[in-house]
Amino acid sequence: MKKVLSIVALSVSSLVMFSFLGSKPVSTYTVDVKQSKIEFSGAKKSGYHPGNFSLKGGSVTVENGKLTGGSFVIDLASLKVTDEAGAQLEGHLKSKDFFDVEKFSTATFDIKSVKYVSEDKANIDGELTIKGIKAKVSFTTSSAFTAVKEGEEISRFFGHATFTIDRTLLGLTAAPGHIDNDVQVTVYLFAGK
């Protein structure tokens, strides 16, 4: 009996040891807010308006070179409209009609799950919170987060994705019938140690 228990204990110990040796630990990378940004394009009957937001902070988690999670803070007050509508439209989008940045200066996005469908594409499910309203967001990355190695260590990550979100799910309901509900969003995310 002692011999059987010894063999079982040795087997379990070996399995635990090899499972730790076979996988790399989860690492956390901080979002580079100077390089990262979120672009948007909102359409209306007579055209569209492009713009962008900066990120205020965030991090991603990585295991074995693959994205496993993350959380980001979006600086709504940084909103910029990048066409001729400029400051006038920025003021309107920052008002209570839309983002109400005096009361809600930030938004958050939390990654809930990541499923790789190939080496360079991943399905991401997350939750976007704007003005205290939460909406589920699912998309496939245009290119999954790419690890940049320096020697044996991963030093930074880059990823981008383009997707569409229904603005009305987040309480952005102004100008129904005049402005499309669907807004195209592109995220460029850099993160490093």
Give me the residue spans of the domains in the chain: 24-192
Convert the pLDDT of each residue in 164-193 to its tens digit.
999 999 999 888 888 999 999 999 999 998
What string of DSSP letters covers 18-81?
Answer: HHHHHSPPPEEEEE-TTT-EEEEEEEETTEEEEEEEEEEEEEEEEETTEEEEEEEEEEEEEEEE
Q: What is the pLDDT of residues 48-98, one digit of tens each?
A: 999 999 999 999 998 887 889 999 999 999 999 999 998 999 999 999 999
Please give the full DSSP string across 93-116, using - where no structure is assigned: HHSTTTT-TTT--EEEEEEEEEEE
C-alpha to C-alpha distance for 86 and 24, rounded to whole angstroms:
47
pTM of the predicted structure, to 2 decimals = 0.81
Query: For 15-43, what is the mean pLDDT?
Result: 75
E strand or H helix at 139, and its extent?
A: strand 133-140
DSSP category for residue 142:
S
Strand-pairing partners, residue 72, are 58, 109
Domain 24-192 has CATH 2.40.128.110: yes
